[in-house]
Amino acid sequence: MALFASEQIKLLAESGWNTCDSVRQGVERAGLPLPTAAYLKRTVDASQWGRAERAVEALREHFKGARFADETVFGVLLVPDPDKLDTRGAVDPAMRADQTGKTGKGAVDVVDRALPAGRLVVPPGTDWTPVATVTGPTGLHFGSFDDITAADAATFTVDGVDTRELMVRQIWGARVLQSGSELPDCEVGGGWTFTLFPGEPQVDGKAASGTVLHDKVRFRLGRSDRGIAVVRVSPALVAA
């Protein structure tokens, strides 16, 4: 456990929350403490790191046979208090400056007008909640939104939790910020993908997803039966 905690603290201390200037400044404006190594050592105890390690290992083991599992990185994601920094949709455009290289109107996130507020799976009240999930650039492939929501629960249930319930915009939005300038689901480098949110209800028969395309973070609606290889999901377990 000590090794896992040390590795994750190092990764989080070097993540976008602390090292991407525009993200770090946005965190400070939101009234959140910066999740530095010192902060994490002080506020996350051994039992929490133990839960996080077990959750990460459980996800890796359960999904090791999934398509693109060999390219998927599981780790600890920090999800901010949604009352201070809500990651379910557009954030302050200034936070994107050092993520996308855009400023002003060019940095404004694209959010489909038909999307509702979105589900909160991490409630208000805690500055930073550790979540075991995908922390790399791309997730797993299980087909379309329709395929995933119709699948047997056992396919996605880990430690008694149906991980589809945590495949939501709040988790992905936090992942985008934590990634700093190395954005997930992004076409830069030729590996464009998008992440589905089966934990969110359909809107007029359309499925919600998130992607980064043409230097824009996008929360979109699209066909629920689209199941091509670039369609990904990111299973998650709250580790608090």
Q: C-alpha 157: how far from its chain's center?
A: 18
pLDDT at 29: 99
Adjacent-strand bridge partners of 77: 131
Strand order in the sheet with 110-111: 110-111, 216-223, 206-213, 194-196, 231-232
**Confidence (pLDDT) at 189:** 62
Q: What share of the chain is helix, strand, coil (3-state, %, to 5)?
A: 35, 20, 45
pLDDT attached to residue 188: 82
**Cβ atoms 172, 197 nearer than 8 A:** yes
User: Which one-letter amino acid corresponds to residue 4?
Assistant: F
> What's the number of domains the chain is made of?
1
Predicted local confidence at residue 190, as pLDDT: 64
Provide the H-helix boundaries in the chain.
Answer: 2-13, 16-19, 21-29, 37-43, 46-62, 97-100, 145-150, 169-178
- Contact between residue 85 and residue 32 where contact means Cβ atoms under 8 Å apart: yes
Range of the domain at 181: 2-238
Q: Which residues lie across from 76 on neighbouring strands?
A: 132
CB 195 within 8 A of CB 222: no
CB contact at 8 A, 92 and 26: yes
Q: Which helix (H) or strand (E) is 31 found in, with range?
A: none
Query: Which of 175, 176, 231, 160 minimizes the C-alpha distance to 198?
Result: 231
For residue 172, give the nearest of 102, 106, 115 by alpha carbon.
115
Taking 70 as the pLDDT cut, the residues of the chain under it are: 1, 189-190
Identify whether the C-beta of residue 17 lies closer than 8 Å to the C-beta of residue 23: yes
The residues pairing with 108 across neighbouring beta strands, listed in sequence order, are none
Give the residue from 139, 121, 136, 74 showing the smallest Cα distance to 240: 121
Q: Which residues pair with 141 in a beta bridge?
A: 67
Instruction: Give the Cβ contact number of residue 50 at 10 Å.
Output: 14
At 1 the pLDDT is 63
Q: What is the DSSP letter of 84?
A: T
Question: At 93, which amino acid appears?
Answer: P
User: What is the structure's pLDDT at 191?
Assistant: 80
